[in-house]
Structure 1
Amino acid sequence: MREVILSEFLLQKLERNGTVSLARQLYDTLRQLILSGDLRAGTKLPASRVLSKETGLSRNTVLGAYEQLQSEGYVVSTTGSGTFVSDTVPSLPVRDAGRTDAAAVVPPHLALSRRGAELVRNAQASSMQWGAFTPGVPDVSLFPHEVWSRLLRRRWRKTDPGLLTYSHGPGYLPLRTALAQHLRLARSVDCEPDQVVVTNGIHQSLSLISVLLGDGNEVAWIENPAYWGARTVLKANGIRVLPIDVDDEGMAPSEEQMQTPPRFMFVTPSHQYPLGTVMSLSRRRMLLEYAHRNNIWIIEDDYDSEFRFDGRPIASLQGLDSNDRVIYLGTFSKTLFPGLRLGFMVLPKVLSAHFGTGLSELYREGRLIDQAVLADFMNDGHYAAHIRRMRAQYARRQALLRDAILEHFGADWPISTHEAGLHLVMHLPEGADDVGIVLVARSLGIAVRPLSRYYAGGGGRPGLIFGYACVPDDAIGPVFQKLVPAIMPALEHLRRSRQQQPRRPSSNMINEGAWSGA
């Protein structure tokens, strides 16, 4: 909605002599435009001075309405950039012009549950799933689709009816056999094919774990910060999520927290998401022993362990477990392509048969022909070759992005560890508005994620999460250059406000002089 049109619309809606204050009327009108979808996420609202002039309202009236919208999360204001509609508000369908207000009211029996309403209200899945700098997405354009097509055609020619019906049990045995062999060699996972269960990905794996191993209101410890999807799935399945802060060695529960053991622990030990740190051996052994003593299930998400660029490979936590307390999760979304929707679990033997039954009972699985093609792809050596090629590609792209950040913000600017992964974190000073920067980036067609939103309650350390894997080499520098003007104003504002009382950043991962490059 253009500024001129918005101003004209407001002039028609506002009642100058009404009993409701003009600030409240302006707030109500803008709020309804946001909820109806007329003002979409990322839309920049007119500056308060501009709107004041065009509507004849006082600037204090406009500022009062904007401040109320911001306090309730409908908009985000960024110093030097403006006020933007927040992307945390779900887009709702525009009501038909002929419908009355009474017809638009949802009957109580059709309203969302409390759990459903919370899920929708706090949804973090982005509509931008490709392009610079979408985190967690591989370069699907480099997938060997001709090889895959040939293998698929070969499977179709065999026309095995058993591959075209429902799947029953843990998945296609040749794929589980290939997976077990690969995991033993590449990740030091101690497993046999009968311990592997093929799923639709991490979300389905977590959902099945929650249902089969958790009763209502049980607790899961989860790293803080952590992948938002893990929190969402666990909570949607009735598990209470308790965030546990991480330090340089990984998940770090306090002595007080350890007095009340949870049912589950969700960890990313080989490459903490999103900070990128590696869990130390001593911390791994402590958590394993604690889980053994208290009958806790450790859920190990090994989400991008195949892409390690520096140093020796980090063995899985499951490979250290001698007491069958670890459930190992993996996916092909990062190594192949997300649209494949195939993942897997490695379970203790005592659980594997039950999970195969539960998978069939709850989800009526299929995709057997895709599983057969993937088994052929792995057995013929294409999977290992593709990972080798992409590992070199992603290492180069990470280096290009690091160079771009340091060129503009100084050689000491704090960035997450560089050894592995498909993303990196550009840390920001305490108090920086990473959400506002992300909204400005979105208006430029650039997808970055705010680090603070990965902390429980959204109040964590600020930073920007960049995915570099799906960005061509020659685009990384120019696209980042386009983003720099969105970052600079927030940093300049902070630096000016701190001239009287300089403050240290809160994390020991960020050094004292790092911010001088802004």
Structure 2
Amino acid sequence: MAMVILSDWLAAQLDKHSAEPAYRQLLQLMQQAILTGRLAPGTKLPSSRTLAGDLGVARNTVLHVYDQLSAEGYVISSTGSGTYVADTRPDSAAVNPAANAEGAAGNAPDEAAGEPARETCPRGDMSKRGQRLIDQAGVSAKQWGAFMPGVPDVAEFPARTWSRLQARLWKSANHGLLTYAPGGGYRPLRRALSDYLRVARSVRCTPEQIIITTGIHQSMDLAVRLLADVGDRAWVEEPCYWGARSVLQSSGLTLAPIPVDDEGLNPREADLREPPRIALVTPSHQYPLGMVMSLARRRMLLEYARQHKVWIVEDDYDSEFRYGSRPLASLQGLDDSDRVIYVGSLGKLLFPGLRIGYMVVPERLAATFRTGVAELYREGQLMQQAVLAEFIMDGYLTSHVRRMRTLYGERRQLLIDAVTQHFGDALPVMGDEAGLHFVLGLPEDADDRAITAAAFEAGVIVRPLTAYYSTRQQHQGLLTGYACVPHDEIAPAFATLAQVIETHAFAQPRKRRRVG
């Protein structure tokens, strides 16, 4: 491009009325011209005085642009000689090493020789496991409202108490709370959690065994990275939480779905012949169906793990919320062989945005896990951890859980009453003894995914039960949450959902049953 043409082109592109400074516009235009070949390597640029005069801008503007182009390698300046466009074209050998090797060796195959390149990124730039993760993603576009399962009522969180504790800690200006977290997390929080878990969940642990994480997903990810290799076998419940399945699959594990029945995990003889490296279970409240693993099954699983060196990951995600009876003891509390990794989260007890979870590991693994979490994730949030420690030690966690258990129990009953009013006993309610949701059964010829989509369009959130299965042996149902729905909104919201179910699940409208 000749100098006069360059000046004309730049003058036509510059917008002197733009909020973007002339310096930025000119720099980006010249970078674009060099990268696209409009300005070929070796082209001499006009002097700063000449270009400034042609464009009607200050000479300092052009000087700054030339200095920046030189600093970034676009041009080469030589005193007394001028400024020239640098040759930044990629080396042909680097761009097409296969073709270069073939030219040198004479026998390397490529597409031109009739052998197509092996596909390594299905559908574009994604890896195979990345594409599988996206294809099977279960995350919802909305995380709040009737009847989103697994979400607590954050409006009931004692924010003023939390704010007061936080303000007190900030006022002390402890610089140690503003750096990276030590391996394992803030020690006072680990001590507070160990005391709480021993009482509330019958977990046997010391503060040294507790590792603070950002939640159950990270806890599982850390356990898999430190205890399993790519290709290792992992038992998962069938059905199971989609997030856990995604974490394990993305880590390269081979998943073996193990069916559940009324007593929980029920491995078949063929399953037992192939011991896994890891078994992921939800024994106190199976997710999503809600059954409790029987004591006999717990003892069987623990003994099997002892004999075959299986690591059990116990996901205890919401067991504090049990209605009509005390919370059940953890599987970890029965473990005499140190094969159980116990994981939990404060998100469902307090608020999901807190992003603080924990894991309890056997003593012999504690130092390894502390190093692993620090090496992989460089944890922080010490101030949040310190506030949470104060919140627990001052008794606020226990009182909040107690109050929310009562509140959620009332909402659960209101939702069950609404189901009965609309459907009588035609649709079963399953897994309602604990947690923040239950499963509303549907006729086997219904399509729970279609019902979920139609309900979403109507402003109601539920999840299809079939999405939690990895095999074709699926049962139709809707995961229906009640914790985050105010009392007075439950009946009208369920009336909307009932209308959708009537339309999609029954050939003939059903006569509604009156209650009271």
Please state which band the TM-score falls in when normalised by the shorter chain.
0.7 to 0.9
What's the CA shift for 1:186? 0.7
Provide the residue aligned with 1:370 in structure 2.
Answer: 384
1:160 maps to which of 138, 157, 174: 174
What's the CA shift for 1:516? 11
What letter corresponds to residue 353 of structure 1 in structure 2? A
Percentage of matched positions with identical amino acids? 54
Structure 2: how far apart are the matches of 1:515 and 1:141?
Answer: 37
What's the CA shift for 1:414? 1.1
Structure 1: how far apart are the matches of 2:293 and 2:175?
Answer: 46
Structure 2: how far apart are the matches of 1:422 and 1:275?
Answer: 12
Structure 2: how far apart are the matches of 1:146 and 1:400?
Answer: 29
Structure 2: how far apart are the matches of 1:458 and 1:448?
Answer: 21
What letter corresponds to residue 487 of structure 1 in structure 2? I
Structure 1: how far apart are the matches of 2:513 and 2:501?
Answer: 12
Gaps of 5+ in 1: 1-105, 497-513
TM-score by length of 2: 0.74
Residues 393-444 of structure 1: CA deviation (Å, up to 9, x unaligned): 0000000000000110014631113321100110112121000000001101
Provide the residue aligned with 2:224 in structure 1.
Answer: 210
Structure 1: how far apart are the matches of 2:121 and 2:481?
Answer: 42
- The answer to whether the 8 Å contact 1:134/1:448 transfers is yes
What letter corresponds to residue 223 of structure 2 in structure 1? I
What's the CA shift for 1:107? 9.5
Superposed CA RMSD in Å reads 2.1
- Name the SS of the counterpart of 2:256 in structure 1: strand
Say whether 1:236 aligns with 2:250: yes
What's the CA shift for 1:376? 0.2
1:350 maps to which of 361, 364, 375: 364
Gaps of 5+ in 2: 1-119
What's the CA shift for 1:460? 1.2
Structure 2: how far apart are the matches of 1:306 and 1:515?
Answer: 38
What letter corresponds to residue 364 of structure 1 in structure 2? R
Provide the residue aligned with 1:325 in structure 2.
Answer: 339
- Name the SS of the counterpart of 2:430 in structure 1: coil
Structure 2: how far apart are the matches of 1:107 and 1:345?
Answer: 35
Provide the residue aligned with 2:321 in structure 1.
Answer: 307
Distance 1:213 1:154, change over 3 A: same
Say whether 1:115 aligns with 2:123: no
The equivalences for 1:266-277 within 5 A come to 266-277=280-291
Residues 274-333 of structure 1: CA deviation (Å, up to 9, x unaligned): 111111000000000000000000100010011111123211000000000110010001
Deviates more, 1:481-490 or 1:398-407: 481-490
- The answer to whether the 8 Å contact 2:316/2:344 transfers is yes
- The answer to whether the 8 Å contact 1:452/1:459 transfers is no
Distance 1:109 1:242, change over 3 A: closer
Residues 100-159 of structure 1: CA deviation (Å, up to 9, x unaligned): xxxxxx999971100001111111100110111111100000000000000000010011
1:428 maps to which of 442, 450, 468: 442
Provide the residue aligned with 1:492 in structure 2.
Answer: 506
Structure 1: how far apart are the matches of 2:425 and 2:404?
Answer: 27
What's the CA shift for 1:459? 5.4
2:236 maps to which of 194, 208, 222: 222
The equivalences for 1:89-100 within 5 A come to none
What letter corresponds to residue 329 of structure 1 in structure 2? V
Distance 1:363 1:110, change over 3 A: farther
How many residue pairs get matched? Answer: 395
- Name the SS of the counterpart of 2:235 in structure 1: strand
Structure 1: how far apart are the matches of 2:211 and 2:452?
Answer: 38
Distance 1:193 1:515, change over 3 A: farther
Structure 2: how far apart are the matches of 1:227 and 1:155?
Answer: 37
Structure 1: how far apart are the matches of 2:472 and 2:182?
Answer: 40
The equivalences for 1:59-208 within 5 A come to 111-208=125-222
Provide the residue aligned with 1:90 in structure 2.
Answer: none
- The answer to whether the 8 Å contact 1:453/1:459 transfers is no
- Name the SS of the counterpart of 1:292 in structure 2: helix
